[in-house]
């Protein structure tokens, strides 16, 4: 078992925002759908969403597992405990994050996961002035430790870090990853939105810079790669003057084929549009 998992904690109260952050819109998608999609791209293994008991969630891909916090309002260590327990047995390491990271980049997730894959119990970024426990990698065997801390009502992540090996990744260490340095040089991956003003600022930023390329009969005179801005595959299709349907599919960075317009895009992505019918 060498798979890595993703855990998205969606159960926070969003009290400062005044509305559930998971459902906030950002360039054609919700924050939760976007975060789940980006974590999924980097993790490769199962992705779990941890929610408060009975919490309504925006639409998610069918392969995403939803896990309920046993108790509401106990904070991130409770969510981590539930998520890590659900991931244990399916993955050795998981990237765990909050739902409110509109600029999260898969290159950041991969870099952080690597710290735990190399042996640490926790890969903890320290970026933009703070440790980032809600954008960090955890060994799934920490589930029992987190559960015990919840029982003891020691609910801050720092208590967890006291009981395991932690590799701290400062900004220099993060930027040493050439892919991350190129695609997220300001480490915006950890920029979260807690208050309405944060959200408005995030919305004011343009969608990521991507590249689109249409093939065959879809090209319609537009040959070769072309720059565009889009935060979802549907947005990229619209920029290309196309709609995903039974005859048109998208391939993200030459990898998975999809008709799901909600698949999130990040800076540096390339989206190919091709005819679904490959007969030849």
Partner 1 sequence: MVAGGYFGRALVVDAGTAAASVLPLSDELLRAYIGGAGLGAWLMHALGPPGVDPLAPEAPLAFVFSPLVGTPLTTSAKFAVVAKSPLTGMLNDALSSSHFAISGKLTGYDAIVVRGACDRPSALLVDGDGARLTDAADLRGLPAAEAERRLRERLGRGWRVAAIGPAGERGVRYATISHDGRHAGRGGLGAVLGAKRLKAVAVKAAAKVAPADPQAVLVAARDLRARSFGPATAKYRELGTLANLLAFNAISTLPTRNFQAATFAEAPRLAAEELAEMRTVTRNSCASCTIGCEHIYRARGGQRARVEYENVFALGPMCGVSDPDAVLAASGRCDELGLDTISAGGTIAWAMECAERGLIDAPWLRFGDADALIRALDEIGARQGLGELLAEGTRRAAQRVGGGSDAFALQVKGLELPGYEPRTMQAMALGLAVNSRGADHNRSGAYEADLSGDLDRLAGGRRHVAAAVETEDRAAVMDSLILCKFLRGVFSEPFDEWAALLSAVTGWDTSGAELRQTARRIVLAKRVFNLREGWRPQDDWLPDRLLSEPLPVASGRVATLTPERLRDMIDGYYSARGLDGEGRPDQSSLADLRLA
Which residue's CB is nearer to partner 1, number 107 or number 160?
Answer: 107
Residue 113 beta carbon to partner 1: minimum distance, rounded to whole angstroms: 14
Q: How far apart are CA 231 and CA 239, in angstroms?
A: 11
Which residue's CB is nearer to partner 1, number 21 or number 110?
Answer: 110
Kindly give, in sequence order, each residue whose CB lies less than 8 Å from that of residue 76, ignoring residues fewer than 6 positions away: 9, 12, 98, 133, 134, 155, 157
Burial of 38 (0-12, 13-18, 19+ CB in 10 A): buried
Residue 262 beta carbon to partner 1: minimum distance, rounded to whole angstroms: 12
Q: Which residues bind partner 1 (CB under 8 A)?
A: 213, 215-217, 219, 223, 245-247, 249-260, 272, 274-280
Residue 198 beta carbon to partner 1: minimum distance, rounded to whole angstroms: 32
Which residue's CB is nearer to partner 1, number 160 or number 248?
Answer: 248
For residues 109 and 42, the answer to whether their CB atoms sit within 8 Å is: yes
Residue 18 beta carbon to partner 1: minimum distance, rounded to whole angstroms: 37
Which residue's CB is nearer to partner 1, number 196 or number 216?
Answer: 216
CB atoms within 10 A of CB 54: 7
In the block, tokens 């390339």 appear at 270
């Amino acid at each position: 078992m060498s798979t890595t998992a993703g855990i998205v904690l969606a159960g926070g109260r969003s009290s400062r925002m005044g509305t559930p952050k998971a459902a906030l819109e950002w360039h054609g998608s919700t924050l939760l759908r976007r975060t789940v999609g980006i974590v999924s791209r980097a993790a490769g293994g199962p992705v779990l969403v941890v929610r408060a008991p009975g919490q309504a969630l925006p639409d998610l891909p069918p392969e995403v597992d939803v896990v309920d916090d046993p108790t509401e309002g106990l904070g991130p260590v409770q969510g981590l405990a539930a998520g890590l327990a659900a991931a244990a047995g399916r993955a050795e390491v998981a990237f765990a994050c909050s739902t409110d990271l509109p600029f999260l980049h898969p290159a950041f997730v991969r870099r952080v996961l690597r710290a735990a894959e190399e042996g640490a119990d926790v890969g903890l970024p320290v970026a933009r002035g703070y440790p980032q426990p809600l954008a960090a990698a955890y060994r799934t065997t920490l589930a029992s430790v987190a559960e015990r801390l919840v029982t003891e009502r020691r609910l801050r992540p720092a208590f967890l870090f006291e009981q395991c090996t932690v590799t701290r990744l400062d900004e220099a260490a993060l930027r040493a990853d050439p892919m991350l340095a190129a695609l997220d040089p300001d480490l915006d991956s950890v920029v979260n939105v807690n208050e309405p003003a944060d959200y408005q600022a995030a919305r004011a930023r343009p969608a990521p810079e991507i590249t689109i390329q249409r093939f065959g009969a879809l090209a319609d005179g537009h040959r070769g790669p072309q720059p565009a801005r889009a935060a979802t595959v549907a947005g990229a299709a619209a920029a290309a003057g196309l709609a995903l349907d039974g005859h048109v599919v998208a391939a993200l960075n030459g990898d998975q084929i999809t008709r799901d317009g909600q698949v999130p895009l990040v800076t540096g992505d390339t989206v190919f549009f091709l005819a679904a019918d490959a007969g030849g």
